[in-house]
C-alpha cells in the first residue's frame, strides 16, 4: 500500500498540522498537549499534505523503535519528509542514520569505538579550553553578547574539528553548510548547501587518504587505503557526523541556558554545587529537546498498536517533547526540576539508531553551562524573555539569538 493510499483511511480524518512553531523556545506548543491527551498515537498532517502517525507515549515510542518492522531507510518514498529542506537528496541519502541493518550495523560498529564514554571524557580538556576562550572573548568585548553567535555556535564545531582533524579556520564554512541543510527554507537551498558540503569533503577526505592525519578522518582514511571502506562512504560518514554533531548541540546550548535563566532559584543551586552538572544536564535534555521528533520511521508491514493499525508504507514520528513529558514516566512532567536527573527521555532517540555522539554532546553541555555560569555569575537576559526570537518551524527548534548581559 502506498503512503498516500494508506493515509486515506477514516482514522486520518482529523489530522492536525505537525510540527508547529513554539511560542516558548523550550516548551511544546499547546496543540501537542491536546494531541497527547487524545491517546498515545494520533494522526497528523505534514507540510506537504502527507499524513502520518505521531507517538506521544514513552513506552509506545520505545516499543516501535525496537520493532524491526519499522524502517529508517530515507531513500524510499515511504520515509516521511518532515520539512521542505529535508526532502532534498542531500538530507535523504545518508549513511548510518538513513539506513537499516545490515548496512547500518557495519557503519555503527566501525564508529562506536570513537564515541564511547572514555573517548568523550578524554576530550574534556580540549572542550574546556574552547569554552574558556569563548568566555574570555565575551568578557573582553563586554556586554551585550549573543549566546548563539558568540558562544554556542563555536563549541560543537571546534569540538568536532578537534575530534576529526579539521582546521579550525573552516568553522564558518561548516556552520553555513550544515545550517543550510538542516535549517534551509526549501529543498533547493538545502541541496545546494549539501552539494557544497560534499565537494569540500571529497577533497578533504582524498587528502587524508593520501596522507592520513591523527584525527578521526585520518583513522578512517586508513581503512580506505586498506580496502575496508570506500571513499564515497567516508565522505558520507564525515558529512553525517558533522551535521549531527554541530546543529543539535549548537541549538541546545542557548535553549538550555534560557531555561536556567528563567529559573534563577534552581540556577543558584547549580552554581552553589548542590546539584551536579550531569544531573542538571539530563533534566535540560528532557525538558528542552530541540527537535520535535526523536525518530522518524515507516512501516515495512502492517503493525497493530493500541487499537490502531499502522499500515505498510505509513510513516511514524516519535515526538521528543511529548514522550519526554509522559506523565506515566515523570511526576509533574511539564515542570523543570533541575535535580530530577532522569534518563528516561528520548532526546537522543532510542534503539539501534540512538545518537552515537550522545556522550560527547553531554560533555559539551556540562562544560558550557558550568563555565558560563561560574565565570559570569551575574549573567542575565538583555531583553525581556518574550522578545527572544524563536526559529520558524523546521528541523531544529531553538532561538535565532540570545542577547545577554552581566
pLDDT in tens, 258-289: 999 999 999 999 999 999 999 999 999 999 99
Angle at the Cα of 121 from the Cα atoms of 378 and 151, rounded to 5 degrees? 35
Please give the pLDDT value at position 10.
53
Query: Dihedral sign, CA of 295, 300, 305, 309?
Result: positive
Please give the pLDDT value at position 1.
37
**What does each C-alpha distance from 46 to 16, 347, 382 come to in angstroms?**
9, 21, 36
Q: Which range has the worst mean pLDDT, 6-20, 277-291, 332-346, 363-377? A: 6-20
Does residue 292 register a pLDDT over 50? yes
Please give the pLDDT value at position 219.
93
Binning pLDDT at 50, 70 and 90, where does residue 397 land?
Answer: confident
Retrieve residue 276's grid coordinates.
551536579
Q: Which range has the worst mean pLDDT, 5-14, 58-67, 163-172? A: 5-14
pTM: predicted TM-score of the whole model, two decimal places: 0.92
The secondary element (H helix, E strand) that includes residue 42 is strand 41-45
Give the CA-trace dihedral at 27, 29, 34, 37, to 10 degrees: -30
> If you average pLDDT over residues 183-210, what whole number do you get?
85
Taking the C-alpha atoms of residue 79 and residue 72, their distance in angstroms, rounded to an integer, is 7
Q: Which range has the worst mean pLDDT, 58-62, 130-134, 219-223, 336-340? A: 219-223
Average pLDDT, the chain: 91
Binning pLDDT at 50, 70 and 90, where does residue 214 land?
Answer: confident
Please give the pLDDT value at position 92.
66
Kind of pairing between the strands at 295-299 and 51-55: unpaired
Retrieve residue 72's grid coordinates.
529508517
At 133 the three-state DSSP class reads: helix
DSSP string, 188-238: HHHHHHHHHHHHHHHHHHHHHHHS--SSHHHHHHHHHHHTSS-HHHHHHHH
Please give the pLDDT value at position 12.
63
Does residue 112 register a pLDDT over 50? yes
Taking the C-alpha atoms of residue 162 and residue 158, their distance in angstroms, rounded to an integer, is 6
Taking the C-alpha atoms of residue 163 and residue 10, their distance in angstroms, rounded to an integer, is 51
Please give the pLDDT value at position 4.
41
> CATH homologous superfamily of domain 3-405?
Cytochrome P450 (1.10.630.10)
Please give the pLDDT value at position 90.
63
DSSP string, 277-325: HHHHHHHHHHHT-S-S-SEEEEESS-EEETTEEE-TT-EEEE-HHHHTT
* C-alpha Rg value of the chain to the nearest Å: 21
At 57 the three-state DSSP class reads: coil
Taking the C-alpha atoms of residue 353 and residue 330, their distance in angstroms, rounded to an integer, is 24
Q: Are 324 and 287 in contact (CB under 8 A)?
A: yes
Taking the C-alpha atoms of residue 290 and residue 381, their distance in angstroms, rounded to an integer, is 20
Please give the pLDDT value at position 396.
79
Kind of pairing between the strands at 380-381 and 70-71: unpaired
Does residue 251 register a pLDDT over 70? yes
Find all residues with CB under 8 Å of 238, minimum gap 6, and list them.
Answer: 164, 201, 204, 205, 217, 220
Task: Please count the other Cβ atoms lying within 10 Å of the Cβ belonging to residue 389.
Answer: 14
Does residue 213 register a pLDDT over 90? no
Please give the pLDDT value at position 174.
80
Does residue 143 register a pLDDT over 90? yes
Kind of pairing between the strands at 308-310 and 403-405: unpaired
Place of cell 518492522: 69
Find all residues with CB under 8 Å of 4, minimum gap 6, and list them.
Answer: 50
Retrieve residue 382's grid coordinates.
538583555
Find all residues with CB under 8 Å of 56, minimum gap 6, and list them.
Answer: 32, 35, 36, 40, 41, 42, 319, 322, 323, 326
Taking the C-alpha atoms of residue 212 and residue 326, their distance in angstroms, rounded to an integer, is 47
Taking the C-alpha atoms of residue 353 and residue 100, their distance in angstroms, rounded to an integer, is 9
Binning pLDDT at 50, 70 and 90, where does residue 8 land?
Answer: very low
Retrieve residue 63's grid coordinates.
516499543
Q: Dihedrals φ, ψ of 76, to 5°?
A: -90, 150
Amino acid at each position: 500500500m502506498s503512503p498516500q493510499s494508506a493515509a486515506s483511511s477514516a482514522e486520518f480524518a482529523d489530522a492536525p498540522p505537525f510540527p508547529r512553531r513554539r511560542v516558548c523556545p523550550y516548551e511544546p506548543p499547546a496543540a501537542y498537549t491536546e494531541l497527547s491527551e487524545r491517546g498515545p498515537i494520533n494522526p497528523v498532517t505534514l507540510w506537504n499534505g502527507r499524513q502520518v502517525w505521531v507517538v506521544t507515549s514513552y513506552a509506545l515510542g520505545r516499543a516501535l523503535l525496537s520493532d524491526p518492522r519499522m524502517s529508517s531507510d530515507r531513500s524510499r518514498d515511504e520515509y516521511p519528509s518532515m520539512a521542505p529542506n529535508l526532502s532534498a537528496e542531500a538530507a535523504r541519502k545518508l549513511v548510518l542514520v538513513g539506513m537499516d541493518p545490515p548496512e547500518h550495523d557495519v557503519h555503527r560498529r566501525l564508529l562506536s569505538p570513537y564515541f564511547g564514554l572514555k573517548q568523550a571524557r578524554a576530550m574534556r580538556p580540549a572542550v574546556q579550553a574552547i569554552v574558556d576562550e569563548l568566555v574570555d572573548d565575551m568578557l573582553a568585548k563586554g556586554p551585550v553578547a549573543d549566546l548563539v553567535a558568540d558562544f554556542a555556535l563555536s563549541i560543537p564545531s571546534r569540538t568536532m574539528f578537534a575530534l576529526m582533524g579539521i582546521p579550525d579556520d573552516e568553522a564558518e564554512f561548516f556552520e553555513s553548510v550544515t545550517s543550510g541543510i538542516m535549517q534551509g527554507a526549501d529543498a533547493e537551498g538545502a541541496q545546494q548547501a549539501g552539494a557544497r558540503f560534499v565537494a569540500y569533503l571529497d577533497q578533504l577526505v582524498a587528502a587524508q587518504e593520501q596522507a592520513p592525519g591523527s584525527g578521526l578522518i585520518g583513522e578512517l582514511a586508513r581503512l580506505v587505503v586498506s580496502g575496508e571502506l570506500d571513499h564515497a562512504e567516508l565522505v558520507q560518514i564525515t558529512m553525517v557526523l558533522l551535521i549531527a554533531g554541530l546543529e543539535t548541540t549548537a541549538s541546545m546550548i542557548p535553549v538550555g541556558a534560557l531555561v536556567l535563566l528563567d529559573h534563577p532559584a534552581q540556577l543558584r543551586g547549580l552554581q552553589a554545587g548542590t546539584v551536579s552538572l550531569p544531573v542538571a544536564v539530563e533534566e535540560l535534555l528532557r525538558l528542552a529537546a530541540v527537535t520535535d521528533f526523536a525518530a522518524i520511521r515507516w512501516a515495512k508491514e502492517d503493525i497493530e498498536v493500541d487499537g490502531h493499525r499502522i499500515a505498510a508504507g505509513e510513516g511514524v514520528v516519535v515526538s521528543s517533547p511529548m514522550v519526554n513529558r509522559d506523565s506515566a514516566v515523570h511526576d509533574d512532567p511539564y515542570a523543570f526540576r533541575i535535580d530530577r536527573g532522569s534518563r528516561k527521555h528520548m532526546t537522543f532517540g532510542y534503539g539501534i539508531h540512538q545518537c552515537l555522539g550522545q556522550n560527547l554532546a553531554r560533555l559539551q553541555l556540562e562544560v558550557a553551562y558550568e563555565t558560563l555560569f561560574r565565570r559570569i555569575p551575574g549573567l542575565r537576559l538583555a531583553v525581556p524573555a518574550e522578545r527572544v526570537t524563536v526559529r520558524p518551524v523546521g528541523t531544529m527548534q531553538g532561538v535565532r539569538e540570545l542577547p545577554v548581559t552581566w
